[in-house]
Amino acid sequence: MKESPTYEWSKRYVNGSSGLSNFNESRIRWILWVTYGYKRGLGRDLSKRRKDLPSGKSKFLRRQTNDDALSPENKTKGRDAMNEFPVIALNSVLSIDLELVSFKPVVDITGDSKVLKKILKEGEGTLIPNEGAAVTIRYTAKLEDGVVFEKKGYDGLEPLEFVIDEGQLYLKLFLMCIFFSLKYIEQVISGLDRAAETMKKGELSILTIKPEYGFGSVEVKRDLAIIPPYSGLVYEVEMVDFTKEKAPWEMSNHEKIEAAGKKKEEGNQLFKNGKHQRAAKRYGKAADYISKDGSFGDDDLKLVKELRVSCWLNSAACSLKLNDFWGAIKFCSKVLDIEFHNVKALYRRAQAYMEIADLDLAELDIKKALEMDSQNREVKSVQKRLKQLQAESNKRDVKLYTNMFARMTKDSAMVAKRLKVEKAEDAKKVEEVTAIEVEQVAVNLAPHNSEMVVDPFIAGCSLTSVLGSCLTDVMPVTIDV
C-alpha cells in the first residue's frame, strides 16, 4: 500500500448542530498519516482535502458524520466527552478548521514504489554518498506488524558500517552460511543499500521496503526475531556519517590500479550471481580508473593494458547477457583496436553480429578467430551455429525469391493479357470511329434540299449515257500505239 505525504495539522472541532461552540478551542497539533485506500471516517475527507491546503492558509471543511465514523458502542448514543471536548451527539454536523503546518514528502527510491523513504529530519548540507562510499548508519528494523527484528547503534550496540553498492555482494554467500551454520557474514539488503545512497549526514528517515528489495522468499534469523519469507520491512534509519570514495584524479597510479583490480573482482562476483547490470557498472568503473595511458609509467603500462582489456571483455559479456548487442560490439572493437588477434573479442563480437543478423561480419570474425586458434571449442561451436543460421537464411531467401519470381511471372501474364484485351478494344474503337466518319461524309455529300434540281439535259438522257460522259471527262484518253 503506497503512502501519500504525511501532514502535520492544527485542528479544532465545533459542534454546529447543538450550538455548543464555546468549549475549549485551544489548537492541538498532531500528525495525520494519510494512506491511499483509507475509506472510513474522518481520514477519508482529510485525504480528499490535503492537496487543497497550501502551507500557512486555512480551509473550512464541513461534513455530516455517519455510522462509519462512530465505533459500534457509539452508534446509538453518539461520541462520549474526552480530552475536555463535549459529548458529540449522533448525526451531528461537525465543522473542522484545518491549517497545513508542514508536510513530509515520500521519496520513491527505486521508481517502482517498492522502496519508499519518508524523511523525518532533514540532514546537513547537500552532499550524499556516492557509489563506493563508506557509510555509518544506525537503525531499528521491524516487520510490518511492528515486531523488531534488529537494531544497530542503539542500546549500546555498534552502528553498522558498510560500503555503498557493496553490501549486497555476499548475500547468497550469507544465506549459504546460515544454511550450513558457518561463520556469520555481515550484509545489507538491497533496499537499505539503495536508500542509504540518497541520505545526507544527520538525516533521519523511515524506509518501507517490499520483499523484492528485502530478504525475498528466504526465512532469515536475525538478532531479535525470525523474518518470514516474503516479508515487508520497515527501517527507521539515521545517517551517522559517510566518507565519499575518491575520484580517479584524486588517486595515485598505484591507488588507481589497486582500485581497478578491486572493482573488477567485485564485478566478477556479481556476474557469477547473475547481477549482470551491476557487474557491468563495476567493470566500467574499473576501466575508468585506468582509462589514460599517459599517467602510467612503463613498468605499470603493461599491467594497465591487460586490466583494461579484461574489463572491456567482461563488459562485452555482460552486454550479451543483457541483450545489448551493439554495446558488446563496441567493447569488443575497443579490445581489437589494441589487440587485433584477441580470440575472445572476435568470438564475442561474432556472437553479437549473429544476434543482429549480420552473418557476413560474424563469419569474418569467426574465420579470424580460427586462424589464431583453430582448436578453440567455443569458436567452433559458434561457427556451427552460424552455418545453421546461414542455411536457414538461404532457405528464407530462396522462398522469398521464388515467391517474387512467381509473382512477377503472374503479373507479366496479367499485363500481357490486359494489353491484348486493350489492343482488341482499341481496334474495335477504330473501326467504330471509321464507320462513323464514313457515315458522316455520306451525310455531308447528300443535298440539303428535299427537292432535287434536275438538269434538263440530264433529264433527257439515260443514266448510262450520263455516267459515260462523266467518266469521259474524268479519265484520260489513251490510244494504243
Which of 294, 349, 361, 344 minimizes the C-alpha distance to 325?
A: 349
For 115-243, give the CATH class. Answer: alpha beta
What is the rounded distance in angstroms from the CA atom of residue 108 to the CA atom of residue 208?
10
Question: At residue 5, does pLDDT exceed 50?
Answer: no
Mean pLDDT of 218-239: 94
pLDDT at residue 232 greater than cutoff 80: yes
Q: Measured between alpha carbons, how far is 117 from 114 in angstroms, rounded to an integer?
A: 10
Furthest CA-CA distance within the chain = 159
> 6-103 and 249-389 share one CATH topology?
no
Name the more confident of 330 and 78: 330
Residue 462 DSSP SS3: coil
Asked if the model's pLDDT at residue 231 lies above 60, the reply is: yes
Residue 253 pLDDT: 87
How many C-beta neighbours within 10 Å does residue 449 have?
Answer: 6
What is the reported pTM? Answer: 0.56
**Residue ranges of domains in the chain:** 6-103, 115-243, 249-389
Higher pLDDT, 440 or 66: 440
From residue 45, how far is each of 4, 42, 68, 137, 261 by CA, in Å? 14, 6, 12, 38, 58
Lowest-confidence region among 95-99, 104-108, 223-227, 383-387: 95-99
Q: Is residue 452 pLDDT above 80, yes or no?
A: no
Give the percent of the chain with pLDDT over 90.
41
Q: Determine the pLDDT at residue 86.
A: 67
User: For residue 37, what is its C-alpha cell?
Assistant: 485506500
pLDDT digits (tens, 9 = 90+) for 253-287: 888 999 999 999 989 998 998 889 989 999 999 99
Which pLDDT value is given to residue 104?
Answer: 77
467 compared with 97, residue with greater pLDDT: 97
Q: How confident is the model at residue 286, as a pLDDT?
A: 93
Please give the average per-residue pLDDT across 310-336, as a whole number: 96
Average pLDDT value for residue range 444-462: 53
pLDDT digits (tens, 9 = 90+) for 94-142: 777 777 777 777 899 999 999 999 999 999 999 999 888 899 999 999 9
Question: Per-residue pLDDT for 401 more than 80?
Answer: no
Of 91-105, 224-238, 449-463, the range with the lowest mean pLDDT is 449-463
* 299 or 459: which leads in pLDDT: 299
Residue the block writes with cell 560490439: 329
CATH level 2 (architecture), domain 6-103: Roll (3.10)
pLDDT band at 17 (very low <50, low <70, confident <90, very high): very low
Query: pLDDT tens digits, residue range 45-54?
Result: 444 444 444 4
Q: Tell me, what's the pLDDT at 167?
A: 57
For residue 121 the three cell numbers come to: 529530519
Residue of 83 and 24 predicted with greater confidence: 83
Question: What is the per-residue pLDDT across 134-187, written as a single tens digit (0 to 9) for each?
Answer: 999 999 999 999 999 999 999 889 999 998 876 555 444 444 444 443 333 346
Q: Which CATH number fits domain 249-389: 1.10.600.10, 3.40.50.300, 3.40.50.150, 1.25.40.10?
A: 1.25.40.10
User: Residue 469's closest CA among 480, 479, 461?
Assistant: 461
